[in-house]
Chain A
Amino acid sequence: MKKVSLAAMLAAGTVALAACGSGSSGSGSDGDIMIGSVHPLTGALAGVGALMNDGAKLAVEDVNADGGIESLDGRKLTLGEGDSKGAADTGQSEAQRLISDGAVALVGTYQSDVTANVSAVAERSRVPLVIDVAVDDSILEQGYKNTFRIQPDATSMGADGADDLIALAEANGKPVETVSYIHIEGAFGQSVFDAFKEQAESQGVQVLKEVTYPGTNFTDATTQVREAAAGNPDVIVATGYYPDQLLVAQAVKALDPDIDALYGVANGAFDDGSFPNDAGAAGENVLSANYHYGATNDEVADIRKRFEAEFGRPMETASVLSYQAVMVIAQALEEAGSDDPEDVRDAIAEIEVEDPLLAFDGPITFDETGQNENATVIVMQTKKGKVEQVFPDEFTTSEPVYPAK
């Protein structure tokens, strides 16, 4: 009989554990409208995840301080914070939790694989997801109606990066004829490279070498840089994440090849706020084509100042994008005059956000796949220990140094 009683205990345990989890739900019946945020707050990407979560938080505070959603009688926003832990399945269940808690829209998630999961949840629940950061082209190739992306995708960043490089070099009297490319393995690096190559070659620039490196167990870039430099290219182009691209910059400095510039495209390091300090001399004059907050925009400067005052850390571009994503949803709520997720979705699809906080070509509007049509990259350069915007002209905070030696 004891066995059976043990089984009964197990059953009781199941119920008890289940009960533990069920206490938290219930939607914002106090009238607040919930926006769900899913970012990696733990795990290897926790640093940037926390910044993005804080960016979304600040946006919610700003909307509320400004009187809430006027078309809904000034109802306030509230942020439901989800932690994807950097894992796709956790991201999905967090998204589901937020939706069942009453979120009218989601923002997230930084990683492409997590975003793929969360966008499936959004589609099935008919709740709009506004992607702040997540780069893979494939996310918007599923035919989902509820997924929107503010940042440029991998392909457009590669192509725009090529255009900008060619134009920048031309404008400075030192046209590019050949480049070599170093990129991280995987869908992200590959699609940026493929688009760059196609665009560059269509304009007569030759891509001499494609050198790839693995995302793990990569602690020295000297060989890769040397291989890229072997054909004497005019420019070395690089795509990857922070730690690995920092190694690339350092290896370029050490090897000192005869190139006009080290040029990042969708590069996680070269325009990051900590790059100039971490890279030291190796960072000086490094160019980077990436989406970036509009450093010439006064509103952005104000937001970033308040962010740093409130959270004690500088507000990186990813964090500004999270802020922007919440603002897109807030405007959609305003225009829809409804907190029904499907109405919000329709409003986002038709939205036109003037004066985006990012250095984009124009207002934020989404095409039928959900991609922001005016998302683009600008060129930045590290000068005297500071990341400056140097190209195109309407965004410049400082003149470019080119050749960037």
Chain B
Amino acid sequence: MDKKGLSVMQPVLVAKKLSKKYGKVVALDSADLELYPGEVLGVIGDNGAGKSTLIKVLCGAVIPDSGEILLDGKNVTFTSPIEARKLGIETVYQNLALSPALSITDNMFLGREIRQKGFMGSFLKFLDKKAMADEARKRLSDLGLLTIQNINQLVETLSGGQRQGVAVARATSFGTKVVIMDEPTAALGVKESRRVLELIGEVRSRGIPIILISHNMPHVFEVADRIHIHRLGTRLCVIDPKKHEMSDAVAYMTGAKQPPQN
């Protein structure tokens, strides 16, 4: 995605001058962020740079002291992750927020179950298990996750990468506008990490933009279209991974080198 294209397109998600203080500690100091349609935006920053606070504000877990968030150009406010989700901002948490003792289908539809039609559903509130299983299977195969044989398998029997896949499938299934992924490869081995990176590409190709927070530089540089570097509570710069080296990014992040002026 070249610069010219970006300036024409309207961003899906914009954060303007977000600030958040915890007592005397300034976690966010008038931070900005833009996410454009169909892109993967990597967010990196040193420990304590405030990137996790930024993400928590965007997913609704933390309420900012000031600043505004625009989704599709409209000003939005939310006070919990559930409200953010209703607006179309889905988060894949580092711990995935899955219930291990429930099945893949149950997890994908947790809190958004499909009921049977007619009397059985409206009065007896019976679930339409078949419709949910079919839908879950479709979602997973859309994301190329057909290695999972049984859709009613319990989540705890899945490998780490497969669990990540279920969480991503859930996050991209319900009219989602933005997916935030927090350290998706942190707990995974090499093979599984590769699978998750492919998954991120898969989601992007379906037009859903992703904010990817990660400590893993090679992973960020591999999948991100743009990289937002966070430093001292605010956005330091946004770089193009194709034009910058990883070592440059680390240098900007730590303050060892001045960022490019753009």
Q: Is chain B a partner of chain A in the same complex?
A: no
Please list the residues of chain A having a beta carbon within 8 angstroms of any beta carbon in chain B.
Answer: none
Chain B positions within 8 Å of A, measured between CB atoms, are none
